Amino acid sequence: MSSITTELPAMDATRFQHTPYYCEENVYLLCKTLCENGVADATGSDLFVVFISNEKKQVPLWHQKASSRADGIVLWDYHVICVQRKKESDSEPLVWDLDSTLPFPSPLASYVTETIQPSFQLFAEYQRFFRIVHAPLFFKYFASDRRHMKEPDGSWTAQPPPYQPIVAQDGILHNLSEYIAMSGADTLSSLDPDTVRVAISQKLGVVVSHTQLQDLFIKLP
């Protein structure tokens, strides 16, 4: 299997817009930049936005820059990454995670091993679920007015990005909660190609477990 990383210029994560604790907006702009600079298809057809969360809103991820621990573990309420899968290539999918200390980008298999650590035994309430949304649909429908980052008195829990909030093409101002809401009951019962094709064409994409994640990217049309 050839490696897509050999086809790409060396990437420095600091070249991309990044505001701590606003990972959904960071990934939105990351995908846009990858489309604009030719690393990805101009329409984003080879990009997928992946939300990671669960019912408890406590998901452990390793090798995170925000961690003060040697193993880099952070217990996020949710996290967002980009996965690139070239349709007409046997190259392994790539993960673009601006908050990770791993190579940027990283092959999906190694990212799962190092960041998700599926062999690590977790209590059921900490299991991670993944909502995969096709980037063209994300560009069209996603919106965030950053209300989730405000205290009851209106102050910010973390300084917001310097640019204006993202508004959906239909004028919706905020729907982030729809993307991060996920549980085991939402996961696909089957990864047969027809089921995956229909699910990934939806606004909110498809939800899978960590055991289904890599297989899903194999089955994508």
Length of the chain: 221
Clarify whether 192 is annotated catalytic.
no
Clarify whether 18 is annotated catalytic.
no
d(CA 118, CA 132): 18
Say if residues 74 and 97 touch (Cβ distance below 8 Å): no
Q: How many whole angstroms from its chain centre is CA 42?
A: 19
User: Which of 108, 123, 181, 171 is closest to 145 using CA atoms?
Assistant: 171
d(CA 16, CA 26): 8
Beta bridge partners of 50: 81, 132
d(CA 19, CA 16): 10
Clarify whether 79 is annotated catalytic.
yes
Q: How many CB atoms lie within 10 A of CB 101?
A: 15
- Which member of 31, 35, 82, 97 is catalytic? 97
Q: Which residues are catalytic?
A: 23, 79, 97
